Structure 1
């Protein structure tokens, strides 16, 4: 760090503790503030914040944080990066909500400091996997991807599985008996009542707790749901909800008169009657006309007249009901609305960055979900339609919209739109419809979230920035942990580890990274590749700059990082903060 910058931060830091590096953060929203707070308070690092004039007017004020210097620039160019001290900085975080702008700024910064650690905020993680290969030392992090599991876990409660997204897949921990063998990625542990679990056993087939790919509901459940969707019962339910109440009343009255007249005709007949004979006589009389019988009693004549007249009325009524049901069903399918009421499902309000990932995760985990957003072209609308997730367009703060999502019978209401006022109003509206409803509410202000949870007795509130900031800070500190899986009282870490040139792993087979009860390789991303290869062959030789994804204990990950690091690089230990 240049002397001028170092002396400046010495005057800003009152606690006298040694600084753990100098970091630059570009951005001024809630995530940027929480990240700066995490770096300066928890890691005791010096931080320079760069903001544009627009961000300075609309964003956060960092003056309340010690050891933080704020610079303003019209654009992120070489001049402002040099003034911020990028040549000697420990890391640069680009956390504005602008994927392209963040990439451009990262390229500028790397030209000035080729060895700089970069952390880029991106929503498009698929693009992020490719982008990080352009830089020497880069991590691409999505705040919505980090926050989504917390909302899913809060919605499902104790039944929520440990899951994470990696390489376009949803992976989760589950019992081997509950998943097909072809979907198992790795054996996690052998568990037995009264005994400590044996994690990452040598014989993976013995593991009853496994890491598996989530495809949604099991095939048997899907087939059963398909039968319900196309069976007679489904047709009757669609008719019931697709036909207006007035039409149903007219149909009921007409059929009631026909049934009463038919019973009267059957009772007045001296001959022995059967159910088939009664039905046949009603249908023939209603639709073919009754033959004149001069010896018929008055009751017979009256019953036949009623059957004929109601038969004439019944034909157009049935035709109108079928047309009405077909039109209403088509309109419901086109708009994504529910054809029939649901129960024991999760309603997700807001299909922005976080909401899109929440509905994808719930769908992959086989949880019935209904999506609500006031914008029919929102980010998650396409995903909802592709996966046949019911999508209701409307303002969730209105009672009729929540009723149309069957919120009275749902398991949980997850509200993750970007408007705090709308979120709170929708939460209170949902609670009024169902006093016992579990509400998971997104609020940008963590302090406001805590106060609303106490004041309004709303079960759970979440702040995306508070959830995501520790992960961004850990990425700046070059921690490799990307997910955690609890196993009893132990925790397994999921990590993405690069193979450095000159390391002991470079030129060694993948099997050399495995260690029984400590570390297991589950995927390999080859040099220049963008998507991982799952369950790679153990004899495959690792090349410099390959990346391996592992499930490991803390001790196992520490050993692996030592094997994968260059002899000239310091060996970092993954701390608890990165794993939490």
Structure 2
């Protein structure tokens, strides 16, 4: 398998495949010296690791040949540039028509077109008809894969949303002793006693134990531990509704105009530098007016002020017929004007620009409470805002860049928007953080995210926090410190690349991934699998197909062989265009060759199911 990328997703994907895949993995990175290259090089030096490292600036034909794409089973292209990934995918399909392609694309429409094009090329070449080959093209977005978990974590404080078969599901924590509910479908995990109310426990998500979190426990364990431990249940919920139409105020409304004028930031014109510049100009005018009155004998008095101002702004006529003192003062005023006018213009432009930027903000109303504060409107933040708009949650957005990707979307939706730096004093207060229920921080700077969270915690110790942190060690340290300081408040860290890597790894291994449910920094995978050809499933009952801490059958449906798979059938969180699934199958139902099943699996369990090979103990890195 070959991975080509230039950021953390390539590194995390290599770790995923190293943990669950016994095949050779070649990673192509631009440099061996950066953080990601150094970590891949460390894996390469491990005698038990199948990972190789190839350094190349771009994935051109020569690089792909050197990486072994002509002989590869699967190729993942995870560069941050859609065009680079698209070009490399076309080259790879030409070099190896049977290679399984997994492509990272941010532009959804372009990704759908590329997926159809490459799949059509495989059909024309005749490779797609070979039952021994799994020739497929899967276009994934790390952003789309991570957004549902981020939204679920900040909106409900627990669990993860999953959309399949036109229905919406989520993982919900039931505290110890809580009775079962009619919407509960199955037990996904029994949580540790130390953090029984929080699925983001510090225990390894795939390390079973009497006192640790157990994924996919058997029925007896789930029953006996429900009285002493929390449980993570899969719950069916109602559909999300479409985003509300943007709110438009009537332009002729006097009340709206009065409120808008009251919120305009007039105080920017009273900034210190503006007052200093215009104060100096006024002092100069007064001094020149006094000199004109004393030495040039101009009358009346207003003329003593009027003429120096004309001279400063170079608007007066030459004083050729005037007294010598008047001519000297005109020259002095002209030189003063040359020195002062640039300062006046600069201060005015700065104040005007600050006024325009601040006017573009739309601060929340004074009575707003129980809302979500979202910091950052980049790629991830924009998608999170769009997803939050499909719910009933109120949102306030903070973004310091007025040209950020999601600012226009926030204005279109009429969401309260503060175009300021969230780390600046008073900005979180203006977002009414004291009255909010959740804070989601999604900037790309780990240190800045922590600064924002610490400031928010001081203002509102009970606010639910989800922050984007890339570094695993830093994230673990931050979460321990936050939990120790605020034991009654939920604090979670999430990495977009860590959330996306399991889906990319599963797609590379020929699996149909519907979604990923992170538990702390581990995860459960949700996949759809054709029963035919899997001895662990075919001919077995739903109960017999279950494996503790490995896999559980969630739903059973009939495989429609008469229709091709829909192109919307590849991205996590999208509808599966197949016949309906039975989400409460009888334990005794026997799985036949014509069935398709939705599975919840650990990464190790899915690898065992699909390859029949149990990973080495040293490979279980979680």
> Which bin holds the TM-score, normalised by the shorter protein?
0.5 to 0.7
Alignment CA distance shift 1:351-1:553 (3 Å): same
Is structure 2 residue 468 aligned with structure 1 residue 442?
yes
Residue 125 of structure 1, CA deviation: 2.2
Give the SS at the match of 2:37. Answer: coil
Contact 2:442 2:467 in 1 (8 A): yes
Contact 1:495 1:550 in 2 (8 A): no
Q: What's the CA shift string for 1:309-348, capped at 9, x where partnerless?
A: xxxxxxxxxxxxxxxxxxx999977433335452111111
Aligned to 2:155: 156
Contact 2:185 2:236 in 1 (8 A): no
Residue 517 of structure 1, CA deviation: 6.8
Using the size of structure 2 for normalisation, the TM-score is 0.54
Which shows bigger deviation, 344-353 or 76-85?
76-85
Aligned to 1:462: 494
Is structure 2 residue 418 aligned with structure 1 residue 403?
no
Is structure 2 residue 448 aligned with structure 1 residue 422?
yes
Aligned to 2:145: 146
Residue 471 of structure 1, CA deviation: 1.1
Residue 115 of structure 1, CA deviation: 0.9
Q: Which has the higher helix share?
A: 1
Residue 444 of structure 1, CA deviation: 0.8
Alpha-carbon separation, structure 1, partners of 2:513 and 2:183? 24
Q: Which runs of 5 or more structure 1 residues have no equivalent in the other structure?
A: 1-22, 175-191, 200-207, 246-327, 498-515, 533-545, 566-570
Match of 1:172 among 168, 175, 182: 168
Is structure 2 residue 368 aligned with structure 1 residue 391?
no
Contact 2:140 2:504 in 1 (8 A): yes
Which shows bigger deviation, 132-141 or 57-66?
57-66
Q: What's the CA shift string for 1:70-124, capped at 9, x where partnerless?
A: 1122431222222221122110011111111001001111101001001111112
Is structure 2 residue 375 aligned with structure 1 residue 349?
yes
Aligned to 1:473: 505
Aligned to 2:543: none
Is structure 2 residue 79 aligned with structure 1 residue 101?
no
Aligned to 2:386: 360
Contact 2:555 2:599 in 1 (8 A): no
Q: What's the CA shift string for 1:23-56, capped at 9, x where partnerless?
A: 1001242211111011012223321011224x75
Contact 2:112 2:139 in 1 (8 A): yes
Paired positions, count: 404
Match of 1:60 among 18, 28, 37: 37
Is structure 2 residue 408 aligned with structure 1 residue 382?
yes
Aligned to 1:518: 556
Alpha-carbon separation, structure 2, partners of 1:484 and 1:550? 21
Residue 519 of structure 1, CA deviation: 2.5
Alpha-carbon separation, structure 2, partners of 1:573 and 1:412? 32
Alignment CA distance shift 1:385-1:171 (3 Å): farther
Alpha-carbon separation, structure 1, partners of 2:110 and 2:262? 47
Residue 484 of structure 1, CA deviation: 7.1
Contact 1:492 1:554 in 2 (8 A): no
After superposition, residues 309-328 of structure 1 pair within 5 angstroms as none
Alpha-carbon separation, structure 1, partners of 2:466 and 2:390? 20
Alpha-carbon separation, structure 1, partners of 2:526 and 2:580? 8
After superposition, residues 129-140 of structure 1 pair within 5 angstroms as 129-136=112-119, 137-140=136-139
Residue 483 of structure 1, CA deviation: 2.9
Alignment CA distance shift 1:397-1:243 (3 Å): closer
Contact 2:555 2:598 in 1 (8 A): no
Give the SS at the match of 1:148. Answer: helix
Contact 2:558 2:594 in 1 (8 A): no
Higher relative contact order (CA 8 A, sep 6+): 2
Residue 234 of structure 1, CA deviation: 8.2
Give the SS at the match of 1:364. Answer: coil
Give the SS at the match of 1:423. Answer: helix
Alignment CA distance shift 1:482-1:553 (3 Å): same
Alignment CA distance shift 1:41-1:133 (3 Å): same
Give the SS at the match of 2:42. Answer: coil
Q: What's the CA shift string for 1:112-141, capped at 9, x where partnerless?
A: 100100111111223212211111311111
Give the SS at the match of 1:100. Answer: helix
After superposition, residues 286-297 of structure 1 pair within 5 angstroms as none
Is structure 2 residue 51 aligned with structure 1 residue 51?
no
After superposition, residues 133-282 of structure 1 pair within 5 angstroms as 133-136=116-119, 137-158=136-157, 162-164=161-163, 172-173=168-169, 212-216=239-243
Is structure 2 residue 7 aligned with structure 1 residue 29?
yes
Give the SS at the match of 2:426. Answer: helix
Alignment CA distance shift 1:529-1:155 (3 Å): closer
Q: Which runs of 5 or more structure 2 residues have no equivalent in the other structure?
A: 44-48, 120-135, 171-178, 187-234, 268-353, 519-523, 531-553, 571-575, 607-621
Alpha-carbon separation, structure 2, partners of 1:388 and 1:195? 37
Aligned to 2:335: none
Contact 2:437 2:464 in 1 (8 A): yes
Aligned to 1:86: 69
Alignment CA distance shift 1:474-1:391 (3 Å): same
Alpha-carbon separation, structure 2, partners of 1:432 and 1:157? 22
Residue 449 of structure 1, CA deviation: 0.5
Q: What's the CA shift string for 1:256-295, capped at 9, x where partnerless?
A: xxxxxxxxxxxxxxxxxxxxxxxxxxxxxxxxxxxxxxxx
Alpha-carbon separation, structure 2, partners of 1:228 and 1:346? 27
Contact 2:398 2:420 in 1 (8 A): yes
Give the SS at the match of 1:343. Answer: coil
Alpha-carbon separation, structure 1, partners of 2:495 and 2:407? 23
Alpha-carbon separation, structure 2, partners of 1:530 and 1:194? 32
Residue 158 of structure 1, CA deviation: 5.0
Give the SS at the match of 2:2. Answer: strand
Contact 1:495 1:549 in 2 (8 A): no
Alpha-carbon separation, structure 2, partners of 1:450 and 1:56? 25
Aligned to 2:346: none
Residue 422 of structure 1, CA deviation: 1.2
Contact 1:40 1:67 in 2 (8 A): yes
Contact 1:369 1:389 in 2 (8 A): yes
After superposition, residues 535-574 of structure 1 pair within 5 angstroms as 548=578, 551=581, 563=594
